[in-house]
Structure 1
Amino acid sequence: MQDKVKITSSHRVLIVALLAAAFACYLLVAPYINSIVMAFIISLLMFPIHEWIEKKLPKAPNFAAFLSCTVLTFIIVIPLLFVFAAIVQQGSSFSQNAYQWVTSGGIQELFNHPWVVKGLAFVNSYLPFDDIDPKQIAEKAAQLASTLGTNLVAVSAKILGDATNFLMNFFLMLFVLFFLLRDHDKIITAMRHILPFSRSQEDKLLEEIEQVSKSAVMGSFLTAIAQGFAGGIGMWLAGFPGLFWGTMMGFASFIPVVGTALIWIPATAYLFLTGDITWGVFLAIWSIAIVGSIDNILRPLLMQGSAGMNTLMIFFSLLGGIHLFGLIGLIYGPLIFAITITLFNLYEEEFKSFLDYQDHH
């Protein structure tokens, strides 16, 4: 039996100083925390590949980690560049077509459609809003179309800035990933030494963090890719630029509750109003049956089984994560929930006898 550690005043001072220093370190790295977290999660996903490379190069850990980072770069960056170029091309073409449609009176024809006339009459009669004037909307659309060139330049500059920011964060993430892969064993050993848990509890906690990190990435990003791919096919078949709108549907899938409906509902309505009833029905059925089923089946399937998280917990972890942290909250939210549940399980095991005694008295 090990002697209990007696907490002295010097220990308390040391703990307070350590917490203050740790908080100061956090403030230093806070601007880069997302890149660090992503490097940690990608290191878990990449580790099987890195382990294989490391076995081939047992005496060159630096070169093995460098090769793993290079492989990741080719897997992510190169395909993204091709996709981005195609998206810009299709987006530009779509913008030009939209400009021609608005300036040639297409929007006025849309407002003269019987369904639109009846819908506006209903809205103006029964809903507590100011009357909606089709002429004002048409004028606004015409103004937007006339300034489309300027808007495209502004959007292009914003996209270029975001792309530059993405590349900077990506290379920072690669830098961190290099050391995480190279020093994986040392980092795990240090974490085990610092954590005040038994070896079995440490195993459970670290395993849960790894499992949830992987499932959060797989559940969110693979679902977005699958929905974007399926949605892009449906939009292409219905006559829209498939790659551009498929990408938009992929991004929209990250938005809880509404998701891809933000894209396919207006597109379906446009097809109905322009007389393409058959393709409108097709797109609606395709989006509900194929694209919607991916979100309802694939996401819970990839994310479930982590620390006993059910679908309701997954939903609120994603919703709250996005609200608090933005897009990266799709990873942070489930991770925080799962670690909390795991700590509750450890608490239940540690105080089992006391809890059982409480239940019977």
Structure 2
Amino acid sequence: MAAEKQKIGSSHWVLIIALLVSAMACYLLIEPYVNSIVMAFIISLLMFPVHSWISQKMPSHPNYASLLSCVILTVIVVIPLTIVFGAIVQQGSKFSQNLYHWVTNGGIDSFFNHPLVVKAVDFSNNYLPFNPLNPQEIGDKIAKFSTSFGTKLVGISAKVLGDATNFVVDFFLMLFVLFFLLRDHEKVINTLRHIVPLSRSQEDKLLIEIEQVSKSAVMGSFLTAIAQGIAGGIGMGIAGFPGLFWGTMMGFTSFIPVVGTALIWLPATLYLLASGDINWAIFLGIWSIAVVGSIDNILRPFLMQGSAGMNTLMIFFSLLGGIQLFGLIGLIYGPLIFAITVVLFKMYEEEFHSFLNWQDKN
């Protein structure tokens, strides 16, 4: 009997090892497409309320319901991106022309002859542990930048268009996966429940947490970036800058921890201050701090409050480490990894509660 049990145990281990090897081989096959698959899974969680409503209207046509949901997502994503991209290129080119005219008409000299700028340069050269600032060298670099900015913008646009094929392939691959995730939502969840060797209550906790963190990570990062980009673009537009172009840039810089949108609005405020537009400089500074900054301080923590009870420090490091390790997609992966780890620790604490209490007493 013992030999038989040993034989059965060995066969189980062989099966487990074979399964792990096969799973690793499958992962290597789909590794180039993992981001598309993960994004499809996350978007399916966000789209599911809409898809459920569509499915109720078309109960006997699940394929058409899933297809319609994918079409709606395509319209929501592709059309606005196309319009915004064209406007960004247009406003960026206009900004390049204005900057070139400002440089050639003596704007740099006027800027560095401003009393506030002269005092700032003198203070930096005398008291700060940096290399001395040479206004002439800075002016030459700005002049070179102004003449090459338009060319660089065109080059960036061409690169973006050149990479459009990859984007289209990844996007439609994501839609393809999304179609099946929406159509077979219940089957996918039931299969996961069956395969994962956890109790039903533990599976519920894990699945609920993955859903909450996925939603909060997307909403906390991307909706905050959109909101800051819109608010920043309005402020920049009122102050006389190309609003759509710089608003989009502020949206991208909002993903950068700590510094964020200050990379855009702070130099713009200093430029207005140095060029004599004191009122507009004060307006842009107050608007950026009070409106744009408050969005990051209020909206992001509010949207990400469902992240497994993670505090602000954990959320910060999950975002920072996620970007460092995975790139932009790390804004989702980072909080998700942290949140799942927190949930697993809670499960561990519940499973070994008696042992941990006994250990604490000894």
Same fold, TM exceeding 0.5?
yes
**Distance in 2, Cα, partners of 1:108 & 1:237:** 26
Q: After superposition, what is the alpha-carbon deviation per residue over 1:256-312, rounded to whole angstroms, capped at 9, x for unaligned? A: 101111111001000000000011011111111111111001100110133211111
Identity, in percent, stands at 73
**Distance in 1, Cα, partners of 2:210 & 2:19:** 24
In structure 2, runs of 5+ residues without a counterpart are none
State whether structure 2 residue 284 is matched by structure 1 residue 277.
no
In the alignment, what sits opposite 2:44? 43
Q: Which moved more, 1:154-163 or 1:329-338?
A: 154-163
**Distance in 2, Cα, partners of 1:262 & 1:140:** 19
How far off its partner does 1:122 sit? 2.1
SS of the aligned residue for 1:58 comes to coil
How far off its partner does 1:149 sit? 4.4
In the alignment, what sits opposite 1:115? 116
SS of the aligned residue for 1:59 comes to coil
**Distance in 2, Cα, partners of 1:115 & 1:109:** 12
In the alignment, what sits opposite 1:104? 105
SS of the aligned residue for 1:308 comes to coil
State whether structure 2 residue 234 is matched by structure 1 residue 239.
no
In the alignment, what sits opposite 2:310? 309
**Distance in 1, Cα, partners of 2:47 & 2:269:** 40
Q: Which moved more, 1:325-334 or 1:147-156?
A: 147-156
RMSD: 1.7
Matches within 5 A, 1:4-83: 8-83=9-84
**Distance in 1, Cα, partners of 2:283 & 2:148:** 34
In structure 1, runs of 5+ residues without a counterpart are none
How far off its partner does 1:7 sit? 6.3
State whether structure 2 residue 231 is matched by structure 1 residue 227.
no
**Distance in 2, Cα, partners of 1:329 & 1:190:** 27
Matches within 5 A, 1:109-258: 109-258=110-259
In the alignment, what sits opposite 1:351? 352
Q: Report the number of matched residues.
A: 358
TM-score for both structures, normalised by structure 1:
0.95
How far off its partner does 1:250 sit? 0.8
Where has structure 1 moved over 6 Å in runs of 4 or more? Answer: 4-7
**Distance in 2, Cα, partners of 1:152 & 1:90:** 11
How far off its partner does 1:51 sit? 1.1
1:321 partner letter: G
Q: After superposition, what is the alpha-carbon deviation per residue over 1:133-153, rounded to whole angstroms, capped at 9, x for unaligned? A: 221222222233333443233
- After superposition, the Cα gap between the structure-2 partners of 1:292 and 1:139, relative to the gap in structure 1 and judged at 3 Å, is same
- After superposition, the Cα gap between the structure-2 partners of 1:292 and 1:150, relative to the gap in structure 1 and judged at 3 Å, is closer
Contact in 1 for aligned 2:40/2:178 (Cα 8 Å): yes
Matches within 5 A, 1:315-354: 315-354=316-355
How far off its partner does 1:166 sit? 2.6
How far off its partner does 1:77 sit? 1.2
**Distance in 1, Cα, partners of 2:286 & 2:145:** 32
